[in-house]
Structure 1
Amino acid sequence: MRNTVIIVILLSQLTACTAQVLVGLDRVLEFEHLFQGKRIGIVCNQTAVDRNRIHIIDRFSAMENVQIQALFALEHGLWGTQEAGERIAHQLSADRIQIFSLYGASRKPTPQMLSDIDMLVLDVQDIGARFYTYIWTMAEAMTAAAERGIPFVVLDRPNPLNGLIMEGPMLEREYVSFIGMFPIPVRHGLTIGELARMFAGEGWLDSERRVELTVVPLRGWRRAEFIDADATRFIPPSPNIPTPSTALIYAGTCLLEGTNVSEGRGTESPFLSLGAPWIQSDELLRSLAVYRFPGITLAPIEFVPHSLPGRAMNPKYRDTPCHGIMIRVNDWSAARPFTMGVLLVKTIHDLYPHHFVFNADHFDRLCGTRRIRIAIERGEDIEPILSAWEGDLEGFDRLRSRYLLYSE
């Protein structure tokens, strides 16, 4: 009996090892021919590590006949230590490699930045929400590569919110910004490599020349997988996305950035805790109970946002006690965070009309439409708007099927 138990344990461990997801960076040696003899520019941040936590800079530095010519930093900087919206400056790395900022004076690599570069390589962990800026930095970098006539390589990574579930409205043209440039829903269910294929294949890039795109694919990932299935590999992609659950719920509570309700910045649980000095937790919970949000549990919370260097220097209601709710995820497959976010905003708006305020322009950019805000302000039934997404998502699902790299 004891031997049987040992065998079962060993087999389960072997299965876990063979089922391990390999990201694009894990597979670069299989595609080494792409990089040979090239002066490479790398668009990356702290998430660009392989399964042994070796960073892309070290992996490519160890490759023969490959030269890292420059690094390109996204929002939050090369090592993810700067808060949202903070402008990033050009600098030199410890190895004297030029680090160009793509979140400062320019959000697109300039011809001067690319003058000595033969290829751009991107490796960054996206979080599956349209208003997260990394995919739009990728779009700008792809455009610059096309204009320059140099190859663009994406080292793919999983979508942490899985590759099946889509949610939210399509971006309308008049709300194009750096938190949404192309007509995709809030939750798109694509990896960053699949998004690159779509951006190029649909002709959305602002370039007369087509980009020479290669995606180094994942191995062992299936579309139904969430990041919580392998949370040990999670590296916070930005200072206020510290946990896998935050990455999921951010797709909904980020809408609070377009209001005067605290989204929890300045606390240890950003985007999972929300509130304001004028909210009564129990009253809000009673009003939200009617929705029975699937996969999610709500609880009352009191918190005080503080200035946190590198995370939130000046959060809403700094040093002021706030009351609200804490969100916990108990079923990732069932949770629909964007829908929850819309209903949260509507409920708080209706309960506290003399306190609640929209930042209309920003809220509409986050939603990609003004229809949600207008319906809330007019007191209209929100259900028809929620239902209208389904038809749009069916059309998007047909479109995206051309670019999928992985099975269910």
Structure 2
Amino acid sequence: MKKTRWIRTLSILVLLCTLTAAGAADLGLAKEKKRGSVVQTGIERLLENPKMLNGKKVGLITNPTGVTADLTHDVDALLEKNIDLVAVYGPEHGIRGTEQAGSAPGTYEDPKTGLPFYNLYGKTPEEIAPMFRDADVILFDIQDVGSRFYTYISTMAYAMKAAALEDKPFIVLDRPNPIGGEKVEGPVLDPDYQSFVGIYPIPVRHGMTVGELATLFNEQFFEKELGKKVDLQVVQMKGWKRDMLFDETGLPWVLPSPNMPTPDTALVYPGNCLFEGTNLSEGRGTTRPFELIGAPYIKGWEIADRMNRLDLPGVSFREAYFNPTFSKHAGQNVGGLQLYVTDPDKYDPIRTALSIMVELKKLYPNDFAWRNDNWIDKLMGTDEVRKAIDDGASVDKIIAKWQKELKAFRQLRESYLLYR
């Protein structure tokens, strides 16, 4: 009798385990199907029908983010399709993504494919143009992060101008804006502050894809600067919607640069990159760059308490302490904040960063300082923000000053949006 009960109990347990495992497997399959079916990028759509490249020598501008949904790199995917790839070009951080900010490797032969790898970073359109002469057409496929001062869109613009100078067609293989395509925030660049971290009058958070930006640049600026436009084509995505954040696309995240490890980093970057222009660490040299902000003179509990009392929408703060392994305050114990975005729809990265700066200026008036090269002005695209903070202006007053230009940009961008 006891043996019969034991066998019956064992059978029930085996059945329950089997059902649970099957359910988990089905759930995993459902998640996998969802992950792989939401957005199709420009490179994947091109590979489905690569006829536009038939008989052409192709140059490719890319970096580690140039991958298909199954993580095959563009270089390998194009070669598998027997595309005549003759050269590969890289932006800041290099084609392989090995270099820190402000760096890129020089020209070398790729040991895997034997192709020449060229560095475009730090070169003018006139210097880039001769590098395109062996190609009949130039492809661009790099994941942007949605902020004006992230230099890949500047590299794209320079490469487009170089292609125009050489009469080469330029094809942008579009990718999602990882922080969404609806919000447009921050000051519009004043042309007096033009630099490689801001080459055209667009706001800090532009809310556009690289394909949309390429179209805007070509139509709005190239005619005036070059006397002609580039022969531009954008291979559009399929399935992307403007309100999507990156984790809703089903695409794999590949680090666009060494200090952009996750989509969460990209979300805070439009605001917290501005701390590059101060004497605070923006978290470089930690495992949470741009989410950690601090300096040796800051008492974490003081600034965290002040920031949480402001009750800013969509974000919370905790006091944090860290010791950067490189960049600002390397090897020193640093006090400050870690940001936690609680609601991406409500979170305003630029308002949040400005609020931190204003509070730090009040707390530590003799310690908080701008970088002496006024880098903050280049990042902001204006000197008005720095001056307003120094004068004790409120965040609301600072933001109000750029609303007219921001409204004009919103109207301008409407003509160049490819996804509705």
After superposition, give the CA deviation of every residue in 1:150-207 in whole Å (9 maximum; x if it has no partner): 1000000000010001110000011100000001000000000000010011134632
Richer in helix (by share): 2
1:406 aligns with 2:419: yes
Matched, 1:41 2:59: yes
Choose from 76, 81, 87 the match for 1:58.
76
Q: Distance in 2 between matches of 1:237 and 1:18?
A: 20
Q: Is the 8 A contact 1:147 1:208 kept in 2?
A: no
The aligned residue for residue 79 of structure 1 is: 96
Corresponding residue for 1:142?
A: 160
Matches for 1:83-162 after TM superposition, within 5 Å: 83-94=100-111, 95-104=113-122, 110-162=128-180
Structure 1 regions of 5+ residues with no counterpart?
308-314
CA shift at 1:18, angstroms?
7.8
- Give the letter aligned to residue 35 of structure 1: L
User: Taking structure 1 as reference, are residues 106 and 140 closer, same or farther at Cα in structure 2, changes over 3 Å only?
Assistant: closer
1:387 matched residue in structure 2: 400
Deviates more, 1:87-96 or 1:298-307: 87-96
Query: What TM-score does the superposition give when structure 1 sets the normalisation length?
Result: 0.92
The answer to whether the 8 Å contact 1:109/1:141 transfers is no
Per-residue deviation, 1:257: 0.5
1:339 partner letter: R
Counterpart of 1:369 (choices 382, 387, 403) is: 382
Q: Is the 8 A contact 2:184 2:205 kept in 1?
A: yes
Find out whether 1:350 has 2:362 as its counterpart: yes
1:270 corresponds to which of 277, 285, 289: 289
Q: Aligned residues: percent identity? A: 37
Ranges in structure 2 where 5+ consecutive residues have no aligned partner: 1-19
Corresponding residue for residue 306 of structure 1: 325
Question: Which residue in the other structure is 2:242 paired with?
Answer: 223
1:331 is matched with 343
Map 1:283-302; keep pairs closer than 5 Å.
283-302=302-321
Q: After the TM superposition, which of the residue ranges 289-298 and 91-100 deviates more from structure 2?
A: 289-298
* Structure of greater Rg: 2
Superposed CA RMSD in Å reads 2.2
- Alpha-carbon spacing, 1:390–1:50, altered in 2? closer, same or farther (3 Å): same
Q: C-alpha deviations, 1:5-56, integer Å up to 9, x for none?
A: 99x9699669726851000011113441211111111000000001111111
| Structure 1 residue 258 corresponds to structure 2 residue 256 | no
Which has the larger displacement, 34-43 or 198-207?
198-207
Say if 1:167 and 1:389, in contact at 8 Å, map to a contact too. no
Question: In structure 2, what is the Cα distance between the partners aligned to 1:19 and 1:116?
Answer: 37
TM-score, structure 2 as length reference: 0.89
CA distance in 1, matches of 2:37, 2:110: 36
Q: For 2:187, which of 169, 173, 187 is the aligned residue?
A: 169
CA contact (8 A) 2:36 2:69 kept: no
What is the total number of aligned residue pairs between the two structures? 396
CA deviation map 1:337-362 (0-9, x unaligned): 11111111121122111111112520
Question: Mean Cα displacement is larger for which, 331-340 or 383-392?
Answer: 383-392
> Residues 375 and 382 of structure 1 are in contact (CA less than 8 Å); yes or no, is this contact kept in structure 2?
no
SS of 1:189's partner is coil
Distance (whole Å) between structure 2 residues aligned to residue 335 and residue 229 of structure 1: 17
